[in-house]
């Protein structure tokens, strides 16, 4: 893909999600991404479902749709980085690259002689972990769930009388990948503008969650308030909720601001609510959230979702249907904006997936290349960038280094 990062080369040493997603975001802005994978199986994302059966009979294989989405837009090179000769090859690749992204447990790259001091000083090195590169917890293992737990999000999700509920997606993986990609871009700018040296981006999973904690920590510092779960409501604003409709759908209405509440009352044909002292201001409505929610919920249950949406939109109330995958595929706005693209997967062929995001006005709106087969680009990349001959590549393959 062309884009503002054309000419930037990224080495993706990551596994699972956060680091590969960071590299993928850079790739969708135009960088060349070379994914380094273990020869014996590659990235674990290749083994996580849901799967599509590819082929027939004894030759049928299970192919991961997770990998098809999150492995796209990069080349695959196999290198066993536990082997000194592979480590030397990676150092050579690093000399012609700009960014290296990894999410091994802290200290792993140093044990492989691939730490920042061993690599080309111009490299921007993105290091993603659960707890960071220093501190007493640095070597603890973990995945996305620990990031949202330790960073303070898990305690806020769900209902107050029930245990916390994880969000439906791997939020700390994706958020950390995004923050890290933004930081890598800033580090590249600083490198090229001020002296040519790279730096390390230290991006723990819990840190991205900590950063989006809104007023939670300030309120504890100043008021001693420990924020807790409120289901679909907000502590300081009402009515904001997901409301069931007469036809069994659920629709999201956001009318906490006083102006939006007045509009909602007009949509509901309930001017009497405006005269009720319990609902006179946003703060008062938040105090009486049960009461105002009951009024809105009763109205929504009396109408089909399309009619609730129509009346809200006519009155200027923020409203949206709650879409599942089928709804996303059928939605006219998503179609008009081309938010789904067809990716040419090398195993499955055309697959509709989410488009790169966000889009830039000077960047063509095109689909990424499909997720590569394991080691698909090993010979071409190592031949070109490391000047290895076919005989040398044959020897490395026989020895299991590639």
Q: Residues 161, 310: one domain?
A: no
What SS3 state is found at 330? helix
SS3 of the chain: helix, strand, coil, percent, to 5: 40, 15, 45
Residue in 64, 16, 11 with CA at minimum distance from that of residue 173: 16
Q: Residues 295, 171: one domain?
A: no
- Contact in structure between 206 and 146 (CB atoms under 8 Å): yes
pLDDT for 364? 83
- Walk along the chain (402 residues) and give the pLDDT tens digit of each residue: 678 999 999 999 999 899 999 999 999 999 999 999 999 999 999 999 999 998 777 777 899 999 999 999 999 999 999 999 999 999 999 999 999 999 999 999 999 999 999 999 999 999 999 999 999 999 999 999 999 999 999 999 999 999 999 999 999 999 999 999 999 999 999 999 998 899 999 999 999 999 999 999 999 999 999 999 999 988 889 999 999 999 999 999 999 999 999 999 999 999 999 999 999 999 999 999 999 999 999 999 999 999 999 999 999 999 999 999 999 999 999 999 999 999 999 999 999 999 999 999 988 888 999 999 999 999 999 999 999 999 999 999 999 999
Q: Residues 360, 298: one domain?
A: no
CATH of the domain at 286: 3.30.1540.10
- Contact in structure between 49 and 60 (CB atoms under 8 Å): no
Residues 301 and 295: their CA atoms lie apart, in Å, by 10
- Domains in the chain, number: 2
Q: Residues 109, 150: one domain?
A: yes
Q: Residues 347, 207: one domain?
A: yes
Q: Residues 96, 201: one domain?
A: yes
Q: Residues 158, 30: one domain?
A: yes
Q: Residues 135, 248: one domain?
A: no
For residue 209, give both structure tokens. Answer: 């969650």
Residue in 74, 100, 75, 70 with CA at minimum distance from that of residue 187: 100
Q: Residues 348, 291: one domain?
A: no
Q: Which residues contact 116 (CB under 8 A, 6 or more apart)?
A: 123, 125, 200
CATH of the domain at 66: 3.40.50.10540
Q: Residues 360, 260: one domain?
A: no
CA angle 145–151–153, rounded 5-degree value: 75
Catalytic positions are: 173
Domain that holds residue 42: 9-212+338-398
Q: Residues 372, 258: one domain?
A: no
Q: Is residue 392 in a domain?
A: yes
């Amino acid at each position: 893909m062309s884009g503002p990062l054309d000419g930037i080369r990224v080495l993706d040493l990551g596994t699972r999600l956060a680091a590969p997603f960071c590299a993928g975001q850079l790739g969708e802005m135009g960088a060349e991404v070379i994914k380094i994978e273990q020869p014996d199986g590659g990235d674990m994302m290749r083994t996580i479902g849901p799967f599509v059966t590819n082929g027939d009979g004894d030759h049928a294989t299970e192919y991961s749709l997770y990998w098809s989405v999150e492995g796209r837009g990069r080349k695959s090179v196999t290198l066993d980085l536990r082997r000194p000769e592979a480590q030397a090859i990676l150092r050579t690749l690093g000399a012609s690259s700009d960014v290296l992204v990894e999410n091994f447990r802290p200290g792993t790259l140093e044990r492989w002689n691939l730490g920042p001091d061993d690599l080309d000083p111009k490299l921007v090195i993105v290091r993603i972990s659960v707890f960071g590169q220093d501190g007493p917890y640095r070597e603890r293992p973990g995945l996305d769930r620990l990031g949202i737990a330790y960073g303070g999000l898990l305690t806020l999700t769900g209902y107050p009388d029930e245990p916390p509920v994880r969000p439906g997606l791997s939020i700390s993986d994706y958020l950390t990948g995004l923050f890290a990609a933004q930081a890598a871009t800033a580090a590249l700018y600083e490198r090229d503008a001020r002296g040519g040296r790279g730096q390390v981006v230290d991006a723990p999973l819990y840190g991205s969650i900590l950063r989006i904690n809104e007023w939670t920590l300030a309120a504890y510092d100043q008021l001693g308030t420990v924020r807790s779960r409120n289901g679909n409501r907000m502590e300081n604003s009402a009515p904001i909720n997901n409301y069931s409709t007469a036809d069994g759908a659920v629709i999201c209405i956001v009318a906490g601001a006083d102006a939006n509440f007045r509009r909602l009352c007009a949509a509901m044909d309930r001017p009497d609510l405006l005269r009720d002292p319990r609902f006179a201001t946003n703060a008062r409505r938040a105090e009486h959230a049960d009461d105002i929610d009951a009024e809105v919920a009763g109205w929504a249950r009396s109408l089909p979702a399309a009619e609730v949406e129509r009346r809200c939109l006519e009155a200027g109330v923020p409203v949206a249907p709650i879409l599942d995958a089928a709804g996303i595929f059928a939605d006219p706005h998503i179609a008009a904006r081309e938010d789904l693209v067809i990716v040419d997967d090398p195993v499955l062929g055309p697959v509709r997936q989410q488009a790169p995001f966000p889009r830039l006005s000077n960047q063509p709106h095109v689909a990424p290349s499909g997720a590569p087969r394991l080691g698909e680009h090993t010979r071409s990349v190592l031949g070109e960038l490391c000047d290895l001959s076919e005989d040398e590549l044959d020897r490395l393959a026989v020895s299991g280094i590639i």
